[in-house]
Amino acid sequence: MGRPKTYKEAKIVRPFGRDIPQLIEQSADVFYMDHDGVRLRVLLAPAPIDDPRGTMVICPGRTEFIEKYFETIEDFLKMGFTVLAVDPRGQGLSDRLLPDPLKSYVGNFQDYADDLAFVIDELGVLLPKPQILFGHSMGGCIVLQSIISGGVNPSAVICSAPMLGLFDIQTPLARYFVKLACLLGFSTKNLPFQKQERGMPVDFKGNKLTSDKQRFRHWAEYFESTPKLRVAGPTFAWLGEALKAMDFVNRNAAQLKIPGLIVAAGGDPIVEPSSNERFASAAGIEFEVVPGALHELVMERDEYRTRFFDRVKDFLDRQAL
């Protein structure tokens, strides 16, 4: 399967000449699609079997990019799925939205959701059904918003630590501070006291993402080797829009109306696991927590990662997906 001829080829980043995972190198195509004047980088990898199980659509979290999910993409390919992944606008090798390409910014979270819906619709004939949306953190909020707002109509949704409640951010005082900063013209300014300055990775010790040193180093090398991938801390505008998006998704949980699974990270210092449980209960979907795991479940140590994927496989099997 080659990419549709109308789309321009995009590159795969190989930090320090790293090999591309074999299954992805053999089957995946990476290309650009334009939506509302924004160029989006897309990966499409057909299932390695004649009768695909369906399509898994991956929506990354903030600062993330396609290559960070190569291990997970291979997992889904081995399960028999075609895989579609998109660099969200403003990060990865999709177009940046401000003159300073390091600024984490979006005008409205619905833009993320609309981008996802556009790509799925445009490539629809290449995406075997059933189609399942998979989102991590920010990407979890995006896929839920895209479904609830009616942009996409998948057969199911799976979220890893979806951004539905952030520690220390959703207090009335914090909300007022963010709103005031935007009103005073600071919307494109970075939030203060962010550790990931100028998009460079923090030290492994004390990081909030994973307790797996090897997977952490694997991720960090992308930013170290490839400046174009780097994204710094969030701007006031990004956080303000994130708060609105979380409010929308939580307020409309009952409108989800498809099978779903949320897996929270029990030791998550970024997303409140209780917010994931509340949403799952309100939406009537399945919920699991992986005790002790940090925020990045698919980047965590094998003991946590395996528990996550065992739960995902069980969900898919019971839903006949």
CATH number at residue 122: 3.40.50.1820
Decide if 236 is inside a domain: yes
Decide if 240 is inside a domain: yes
Question: Taking the CB of residue 228, how many other CB atoms lie within 10 A of it?
Answer: 11
Beta strands in 70-192 (DSSP E): 81-86, 131-136, 156-160
Q: Residues in the chain with pLDDT < 50?
A: 1
Instruction: Name every residue whose Cβ is closer than 8 Å to that of residue 118 and which is 6 or more positions away in sequence.
Output: 33, 35
Decide if 165 is inside a domain: yes
Decide if 263 is inside a domain: yes
Q: What domain range includes position 165?
A: 8-318
Q: Is 92 exposed, middle or buried (0-12, 13-18, 19+ CB in 10 A)?
A: buried
pTM of the model: 0.95
Tell me the DSSP string of 64-99. --GGGGHHHHHHHHHTTEEEEEEPPTTSTTSPPSSS
C-alpha 263/C-alpha 286 separation (Å) is 8
Classified as helix, coil or strand, 9 is strand
Decide if 3 is inside a domain: no
Look at the chain and report how many structural domains it folds into: 1
C-alpha 312/C-alpha 316 separation (Å) is 6
C-alpha 116/C-alpha 59 separation (Å) is 8
Tell me the DSSP string of 263-319. EEETT-SSB-HHHHHHHHHHHT-EEEEETT--S-GGGS-HHHHHHHHHHHHHHHHHT
| pLDDT for res 31 | 96
- The bridge status of strand 29-35 relative to strand 38-45 is antiparallel
C-alpha 131/C-alpha 52 separation (Å) is 11
Decide if 112 is inside a domain: yes
What pLDDT, in 10s, does the model give residues 182-216?
Answer: 888 888 988 876 666 688 888 999 899 999 999 99
What are residue 8's DSSP bridge partners?
32
| pLDDT for res 177 | 81
Decide if 193 is inside a domain: yes
Q: In angstroms, what CA-CA distances link 248 with 110, 171, 303?
A: 10, 17, 34
